[in-house]
Structure 1
Amino acid sequence: MAKNSARDIEITAFATHQIITQPNPLRSVLRRVEDKDMDDPIGRAEQALAGLAGEFKDWMATEINRLSAAYVAIRHDGFSKDRRDELFRAAHDIKGDAATFGYPAAAGVAESLCRVIEHAPDLEKVPAELFTHHINAILAIVHENTKLDSISVSAELSRRLRKVADDYLADANRDRPEHLEVILAPSIAPAG
């Protein structure tokens, strides 16, 4: 690529300032294509996603199996840093992948579970039912997602679990005001 010389630089002077414009070096590497040869990267991406759509259910099954296994290990052997981290990572991956895989309500429940794991002052004191309800909800949403009437039920389940989790976290952190602002922040997961 050739270096720009001083004569290639354009200077426009105004009373109070100057604008210096140098040539765009990318113009020399651009290739013009005819409209009939235009590439549609968004269209290609949508086609690729449509081709993978059949695999989404399998991928989601893998994710929920990982979440279930992490929780079974905790129920059997209690919380340790590694078991806690695995449960969090499994829930976090579901939170990130669920909407893409077609399970947006599962993303909301997984986010709520992540918040409990992240913000509870002592995970051993969190009622086991709170974990169990979150995990069972994710399992139910994934397994029943194909039924039209289940979509609104899933969204309502997600909202209610988030409310229960937030109420628990607000109470558990009442002596830790620095956590309350984060705990009471609105959800960032897509609405189901």
Structure 2
Amino acid sequence: MSVKQNVKNLKLIEVFSKLKTSQLFWVLSFSLLTFLSAQVVVPVQPVPFTLQTMIVLLSGAFLGSRNGMISQVVYIAAGALGIPVFAEYSFGFAKLIGPTGGYLLAFPVAAYVVGYLIERKSATWMVALSMLVGSLIILLSGSLFLSIFLNGDMNKALFSGAIIFSIWDLIKITAAISIYKAFSKKYPRLPNI
């Protein structure tokens, strides 16, 4: 094992060692929920409809910026390392550099941004705005990545990778806001470390 790999492993261990047991439980729970929601699939091409973006948004909302991001990094790492957690039980590093890679790679960023914005202000309008911004991050990153596979045709990528998801995503955002508002008072967001 190289020195560089040892340093990466130590940093990962350091991150997990700083998480309290309850935080680790919730981080892993949201990674698992992301996996489960990825299996709720409407198989269309080039990108299937899934519920996972709703869970990504909720991970940032409930866990906060840092822990929400970590939950999504764990999810992506599990899939990249060969655990069949991606949509339709797919896996592998190739998924991260394929047509859906831009969406997957945006998950940690979206979770972080949602958590960050809600940490600043948790009014309903801010929750809605943060989830809309998080969803746009995922859709735009996914479309940009998808355009590579469509010979650089950004218009086609925006249509087939973002616009066709608009109504579906608005429904998921509305559901995520409702879920967050229903549970956030009873189960407050975990503190970031």
Structure 2 length as normaliser, TM-score? Answer: 0.34
**RCO (CA 8 Å, sep 6+): is it higher in 1 or 2?**
2
Structure 1 length as normaliser, TM-score? Answer: 0.34
Which structure has more helix as a fraction of its residues? 2
